Amino acid sequence: MQYKLTTPVAKEDLAPLRAGDTVLLSGTVYTARDAAHKRMMELLDAGEALPFPVEGSAVYYVGPTPERPGPTTSGRMDAYSPRLLDLGQAIMIGKGARNQAVKEAVVRSGAVYLAALGGAGALMAASVEELEVICWEDLGCEAVRRLTVRDLPLTVILDAHGGDLYESGPAAYLSSL
């Protein structure tokens, strides 16, 4: 199935999604990679607010650079993701498998993990209508940005019901042989 979603999203918006579905995402998406996630944890540990509203938010693990456009490997954010999901983050966007703690946090929080096409930066960039650095400019390509996107094409990897396309996809393929 294909779904159209607009951020911020509620759990009810994500409930119908299943691993393998496609999503065209519109609205505000924040970018944050390793260094930004580390700083977000430091803010939370100090009892301070995050630089963007986390409730219902979508965070894309990407650093816009000419050399390597596209998503970064999501596993690098696994140590930080459960905490942000528990605070209300609804959507993670990246590429690659996630650890068990992240999978459990996705189900617990009613969130989803969506995959972006790696190596297709030009295709993904066509969906970006606006881009603004909102904090930590000193991090360069890892600064937190606010993107306004229209119909960003994504695939559901982890759904709120425990579905994991990285498990079900290969299993379905092997059973068809």
Active site residues: 37
What Å distances lie between residue 58 and 4, 29, 47, CA to CA?
14, 5, 22
Distance CA 41, CA 113 (A): 20
Please tell me the distance from the alpha carbon of residue 112 to that of residue 137, in angstroms, as a whole number: 28
Residues 39 and 45: their CA atoms lie apart, in Å, by: 10
User: In angstroms, rounded to a whole number, what is the distance separating the alpha carbons of residues 132 and 116?
Assistant: 20
Backbone phi, psi, residue 69, to 5°: -70, 155
Which residues is 115 bridged to in the sheet? 94, 155
| Cis before 53 (ω within 30) | no
CA dist 81 and 75 (Å) reads 9
Give residue 114's Cα distance to chain centre. 6
